[in-house]
Structure 1
């Protein structure tokens, strides 16, 4: 990290936030611009401004900052801080492919997809209804094996114990219900490949991609489980209407997803997915959707999870901290 960014972080840690921002605003190196872009995205020490954040990250990428380039490709794909431009996002991956293995891998995986000019999946997805109460639809091979492997590989260094946001304490705490590790793909990590997969989930579930919370990867090792729970939250104004789960591997024992009201236990092959309804049509949690992730007895279970809200997030906004559960 260059000196200006280091000095700005030191100023921020010592309580001199205004001076830290001013220092970054006058700096001209990629590290400083990338840090300023992140602060403007988060609203840290300065007003939240996704448009200015995207511009800072674009300039940082032009100066060779690979981290900023990764974020910027995602912003261009998703339309964060400016217009969405799928072709431009894919072109940016190509520009960085010889310098960033992550960009090269995304470019190659996207090239294997059949998409419209704006990045939407061409295919229609017809699932198999496996339950009517709760409503559960199963989709075979929603993700390819190579796409599953990509998600696993990029999450290996990002896994951390699953947490929830405790409103009373105002901070994240260890999840008392779920014993597992998780890795999220928030705005700064919704790279073009991740965005394409989110759009596929949206197409399969009949929703808009902006209704989905950030994609999460869940890792369960022997003895770990997700205790019985509901995904819908009582009183939530924009309810979690649906949950999408994608199996990313098969080499484990145990770990079925079991619905308690019916006893239905599901386990898919690599790339298979289920979408199930969490809420009744009046927004109250559907009691028949109460489910658990049974304990893993051998190996490592890896799944992708996406909660889908009743309505999209607002322009330039993401869902709140409670969504990191």
Structure 2
């Protein structure tokens, strides 16, 4: 994948791969992916959701959509223009299959019978019309703040017993004729929507702190209609899957 933000020398470091290890699922259906970036660790997986599954997700979501909001505000904001629907894992059998597929590909606990919100959140479906966008932001709920603020009023650790958002898996449910890229300004990377593909990245480092280079945004849709589906993966239940490093900076 040609990325306009990367130099030729940097692009040369990354290659396309096919993975059939780590899970019986991958032996039957190997994962095709591109290694996009080291910091944050980021990959683009191809053909990981079928047109039939996409249609099911869109059909379920259409009557649940409402104007997108952000955690820190009680209503719509100008810097996030889209519509959102949350789909519980039990909404349809295809959502359970998708959660297990993400788990097999990433090697992380995503659902697999673990109580709601302890491993992976419900799927968030987003619909962006022309002009729809989301300014640069971070996915973690509190670990992008200084450590001394993590336990301030409201005790965020108490409110989030599953930990913070370790990683993000984003399905692209449609392609976009113009615009709509997912841009990571501090990492110098942008990803174009590819129907049936998914971009995956880690937002928290192995030292437990948020990665500033995971900042990202949804570029404005100039022509077409962009649909994505996010699955946020929580950190606490994955402490053995994504262990700490001996390097405090990693």
Q: TM-score, normalised by structure 1?
A: 0.54
Give the match for residue 80 of structure 2. Answer: 178
Could you list the runs of 5+ residues in structure 2 that have no partner in the other structure? 1-24, 112-118, 144-149, 151-155, 158-162, 239-250
Q: 1:219 aligns with which of 127, 131, 150?
A: 127
Could you list the runs of 5+ residues in structure 1 that have no partner in the other structure? 1-119, 314-325
Q: Deviations over 1:88-140 (max 9, x none)?
A: xxxxxxxxxxxxxxxxxxxxxxxxxxxxxxxx775353532110011101111
Secondary structure of 2:85 counterpart: strand
Greater fraction of residues in strand: 2
Matched, 1:273 2:198: yes
Greater gyration radius: 1
Report deviation, 1:281: 1.4
CA distance in 2, matches of 1:153, 1:141: 20
Greater fraction of residues in helix: 1
CA distance in 1, matches of 2:100, 2:177: 28
Contact 1:124 1:203 in 2 (8 A): no
Matched, 1:203 2:95: no
What is the root-mean-square deviation of aligned Cα atoms in Å?
Answer: 2.3
Report deviation, 1:209: 2.3
Q: Deviations over 1:13-57 (max 9, x none)?
A: xxxxxxxxxxxxxxxxxxxxxxxxxxxxxxxxxxxxxxxxxxxxx
CA distance in 1, matches of 2:206, 2:79: 26
The higher relative CO (CA closer than 8 Å, separation ≥ 6) is in 2
Q: Deviations over 1:252-298 (max 9, x none)?
A: 32010000113311013211111101011122210011111001111
CA distance in 2, matches of 1:181, 1:202: 27
Q: 1:296 aligns with which of 221, 224, 228?
A: 221
Secondary structure of 1:143 counterpart: coil
CA distance in 2, matches of 1:302, 1:126: 21
CA distance in 2, matches of 1:221, 1:285: 31
Within 5 Å, give how 1:1-325 maps onto structure 2: 122-125=28-31, 127-166=33-72, 172-175=74-77, 177-187=79-89, 189=91, 191-210=92-111, 211-233=119-141, 234=143, 235=150, 237=157, 238-312=163-237
Secondary structure of 1:127 counterpart: strand
Contact 1:217 1:303 in 2 (8 A): yes
Q: TM-score, normalised by structure 2?
A: 0.69
